[in-house]
C-alpha cells in the first residue's frame, strides 16, 4: 500500500461541519488502498475523544492542540509583515517537525493538503512525492473581502488585508503543487480569473452527502422542544461562523416578523455548536438556540422546512445537500444555492428578499399543496442520489491522482529507443 500524507487544519471527526465532512470522507475512502499518515490540529476540547476513531483508519497520526490565545498572539507579529494572518494562526513548530519527519522517513507517494494554511508545512521540492494535491474547497481570500465590505474600521482594513495576503499565498501554493481542488466550477473560474498564470491547475470536485446517514427512512427521536403538530423551521451549522451568524440574524430580524404575521406559532430552531453572543441574544420563546447537539438529523426530520438564508457564502453548502437527502423542503438564497444543481420549485425553494423568503417559508410550512410538496421532497433526494453521492466524488479524486501520477512516470530506456527508431 502506498503512503499518503494527509494534512488537515482541524481533526476530521466528527464530520459535523463542511471541511471536516469532506476530509473524513476522503480519509475513510483512501484508507482502503493507502497507508494514511494524518497530521491535524484540535481546537475543540470535546474532539480529543475522537482520536481513537480516526486512528482506526490511519497507520500513524499527529494531533496538536490549537490554543486560541497562542494563535492570536502569533497573528500580532504577522500584522507587521506581509504574511497572511490565517497562515500565522495555524503555524506550530511541532507540526513542521512532524511533517518534515514523515516526508523524510515515510516518503509518501501522495500528499493531500486540506485548507491552504496547512500548505506552509510542505516543501514543494526534493520531497519525492509523486502527487501533491491542494484542496482549497473555496476561494477563501474572496470570503475575507466579502467580510470587509460590511465591516467597520478597523476590521474592514484587517479583512481586506487578509483577502489580499491570503490570495498571494494561495497563488504560490497553486504554483507549487500538482493540482488545486475546489468544490464548485464557480470557484475554479474565480481563481483562474484572479490568477490567470495558474489556469489549468485547478479542478472542481464538489462535496457529496452520506445518503445512508441522511436518510428520511430512519427512525429519529423527536426533540422535546418540537411538539407534534407544531410548525417548525431549522437552520444547522457552526454558530460562531460569521456567514452562519449573519444568516440567522437576518432571518430573525427581517424574515420572521413577516412570517409571524400569518403564522405566529411558528418556531425557529438554530441548531449547531458554539453559538456566539450575537446568536445567543436571538433566543426567545419562539427562537430556540440549541447549542451543540449529538445529532442534527432529528431537528431536520421534524421541521416543516429547512432554511439556508446565507448572504455571505463561498463554495457548496453541505447543509443544503443534507436537507435534500432527508427529503426536506429547503428554502435557500442565491448565495446558498451556488454550485448545487437544483432549481426553484423542483428540488427546493429559492428567494432573495426578506418578503420573498418569508413567502417561500410559508408556502413550505402552512397548508402546502400535498402533491406538490411531496414531489419537491422526492425530487430533492433523487437529485442528491444522482449527483451528490460520495462514491462519485471518490472516482473524480482518484482519477485526478492517477492522471498526475501517470504524467510523472519516467520514460523507460526501451521507450526512448523505440521513439528514436520510429522517428
Distance between CA atoms of residues 345 and 368, nearest Å: 13
pTM to 2 decimal places = 0.89
Nine-digit cell string for 85: 494572518
Give the strand order in the sheet containing 349-350.
287-291, 267-271, 232-236, 305-308, 330-332, 349-350
Per residue in 335-351, pLDDT (tens digit) is 999 999 999 999 999 99
Tally of CB atoms within 10 A around 264: 9
Which comes out higher in pLDDT, residue 231 or 68? Answer: 231
Question: 57's torsion region: left (phi>0), alpha (psi -120 to 50) or beta?
Answer: alpha
Print burial letters for 355-389: b (CB count within 10 Å at least 16), e (below 16).
ebbbbbbbbbbeebeeeebeebbebbbebbeebbb
Q: Is 152 exposed, middle or buried (0-12, 13-18, 19+ CB in 10 A)?
A: exposed
CA angle (169 as vertex; 165, 172 as ends), nearest 5: 145
Give 368's contacts (C-beta < 8 A, 6+ positions apart).
329
Which has the closest alpha carbon to 178: 112, 240, 233, 237?
112
Average pLDDT in the chain: 93
Nine-digit cell string for 46: 470535546
Domains of the chain: 2-208+389-414 (3.40.50.2000), 232-387 (3.40.50.2000)
Per residue in 251-304, pLDDT (tens digit) is 999 999 999 999 999 999 999 999 999 999 999 999 999 999 999 999 999 999
Per residue in 5-33, pLDDT (tens digit) is 999 999 999 998 888 999 999 999 999 99
Secondary structure of residue 218 in the 3-state scheme = coil
Nine-digit cell string for 79: 500584522
Which has the closest alpha carbon to 291: 299, 364, 66?
299
Q: Is 215 exposed, middle or buried (0-12, 13-18, 19+ CB in 10 A)?
A: middle
Per residue in 134-184, pLDDT (tens digit) is 999 999 999 999 999 999 999 999 999 999 999 999 999 999 999 999 999
Amino acid at each position: 500500500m502506498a503512503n499518503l500524507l494527509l494534512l488537515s487544519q482541524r481533526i476530521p471527526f466528527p464530520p459535523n461541519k463542511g471541511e471536516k465532512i469532506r476530509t473524513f470522507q476522503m480519509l475513510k475512502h483512501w484508507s482502503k488502498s493507502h497507508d494514511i499518515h494524518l497530521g491535524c490540529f484540535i481546537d475543540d476540547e470535546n474532539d480529543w475523544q475522537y482520536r481513537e476513531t480516526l486512528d482506526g483508519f490511519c497507520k500513524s497520526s499527529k494531533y496538536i492542540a490549537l490554543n486560541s490565545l497562542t494563535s492570536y498572539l502569533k497573528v500580532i507579529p504577522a500584522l507587521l509583515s506581509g504574511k497572511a494572518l490565517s497562515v500565522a494562526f495555524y503555524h506550530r513548530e511541532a507540526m513542521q517537525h512532524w511533517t518534515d519527519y514523515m516526508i523524510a522517513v515515510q516518503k509518501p507517494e501522495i500528499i493531500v493538503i486540506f485548507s491552504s494554511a496547512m500548505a506552509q508545512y510542505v516543501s514543494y521540492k526534493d520531497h519525492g512525492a509523486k502527487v501533491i494535491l491542494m484542496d482549497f474547497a473555496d476561494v477563501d481570500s474572496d470570503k475575507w473581502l466579502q467580510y470587509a465590505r460590511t465591516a467597520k474600521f478597523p476590521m474592514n482594513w484587517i479583512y481586506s488585508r487578509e483577502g489580499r495576503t491570503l490570495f498571494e499565498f494561495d497563488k504560490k501554493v497553486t504554483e507549487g503543487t500538482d493540482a488545486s481542488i475546489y468544490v464548485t466550477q464557480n470557484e475554479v473560474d474565480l481563481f483562474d480569473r484572479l490568477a490567470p498564470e495558474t489556469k489549468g491547475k485547478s479542478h472542481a470536485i464538489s462535496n457529496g452527502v452520506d445518503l445512508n446517514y441522511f436518510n428520511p427512512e430512519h427512525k429519529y427521536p423527536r426533540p422535546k422542544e418540537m411538539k407534534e403538530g407544531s410548525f417548525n423551521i431549522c437552520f444547522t451549522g457552526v454558530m460562531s461562523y460569521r456567514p452562519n451568524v449573519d444568516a440567522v440574524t437576518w432571518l430573525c430580524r427581517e424574515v420572521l416578523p413577516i412570517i409571524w404575521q400569518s403564522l405566529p406559532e411558528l418556531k425557529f430552531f438554530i441548531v449547531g455548536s458554539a453559538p456566539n453572543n450575537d446568536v445567543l441574544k436571538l433566543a426567545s420563546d419562539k427562537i430556540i438556540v440549541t447549542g451543540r447537539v449529538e445529532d442534527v438529523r432529528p431537528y431536520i426530520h421534524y421541521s416543516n422546512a429547512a432554511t439556508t438564508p446565507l448572504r455571505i457564502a463561498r463554495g457548496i453548502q453541505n447543509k443544503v445537500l443534507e436537507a435534500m437527502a432527508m427529503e426536506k423542503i429547503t428554502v435557500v438564497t442565491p448565495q446558498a444555492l451556488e454550485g448545487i444543481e437544483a432549481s426553484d420549485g423542483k428540488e427546493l425553494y429559492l428567494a432573495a428578499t426578506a418578503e420573498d423568503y418569508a413567502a417561500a417559508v410559508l408556502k413550505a410550512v402552512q397548508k402546502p399543496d400535498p402533491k406538490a410538496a411531496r414531489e419537491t421532497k422526492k425530487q430533492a433526494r433523487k437529485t442528491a442520489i444522482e449527483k451528490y453521492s460520495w462514491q462519485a466524488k471518490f472516482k473524480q479524486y482518484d482519477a485526478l491522482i492517477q492522471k498526475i501520477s501517470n504524467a510523472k512516470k519516467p520514460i523507460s530506456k526501451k521507450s526512448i529507443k523505440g521513439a528514436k527508431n520510429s522517428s
